[in-house]
Amino acid sequence: MTQIQKFSLLYDSDEDRLAWDAEDPQGATTRLWLTQRLCRGLIKALVPMLQQTAQPDLPPQHAATVQSWEQQAAMADFGHVPSVQPSAETVVGLVKAVHIQPTNGGMNLTFEFGAEESRAVSLAHPAVRQMLTVLYRLNVAAGWALDLWPSWIADPITPPPTETVN
């Protein structure tokens, strides 16, 4: 199994799939194709796992607000890192399954494709939130159904201004 150090996501309208371009620590690249069906399954799995990590004893009427704030905070830290650039040597495969393993403070995702091929990435919770926001935006761009997306990803609450008014 190869460990992913950096990745980029994009929608390919000709393929009607998402391309997960990944780079390992040695600079080798992989393009993993994610179908709409696989993405829906990934969203169905990740969103509840992420919701359970944020103050599980919180009253339900406040949970969406807290999730929205955490989502907004994660996106405030979203950096501008150059995209992964596939090359002629890039390994390409259609993802058959994604295995999610919760960790202390994050998640490990392992993508299975091809003949016993896999790629793994470890993400802290803010990075999972950032990835979900990008996946949401790509789902919108693709015109895919948005029924699985919680409002705290689709339309996070904008935090109040930090200025003090007396």
Q: What is the pLDDT along the chain (166 residues), one digit of tens a residue?
A: 789 988 999 999 999 999 999 999 999 999 999 999 999 999 999 988 887 766 666 666 666 666 666 666 666 666 667 888 999 999 999 999 999 999 998 999 999 998 889 999 999 888 898 899 889 999 999 999 999 998 888 775 554 444 444 4
Question: Residue 112 and residue 104: Cα distance in Å, rounded?
Answer: 23
Please state the separation of Cα 103 from the chain's center in Å: 16
- Among candidates 115, 117, 113, which has minimal Cα distance to 94? 113
Question: Residue 4 and residue 119: Cα distance in Å, rounded?
Answer: 6
- Among candidates 98, 88, 81, which has minimal Cα distance to 34? 98
- Among candidates 34, 36, 44, 10, which has minimal Cα distance to 145? 36
pTM above 0.85, yes or no: no
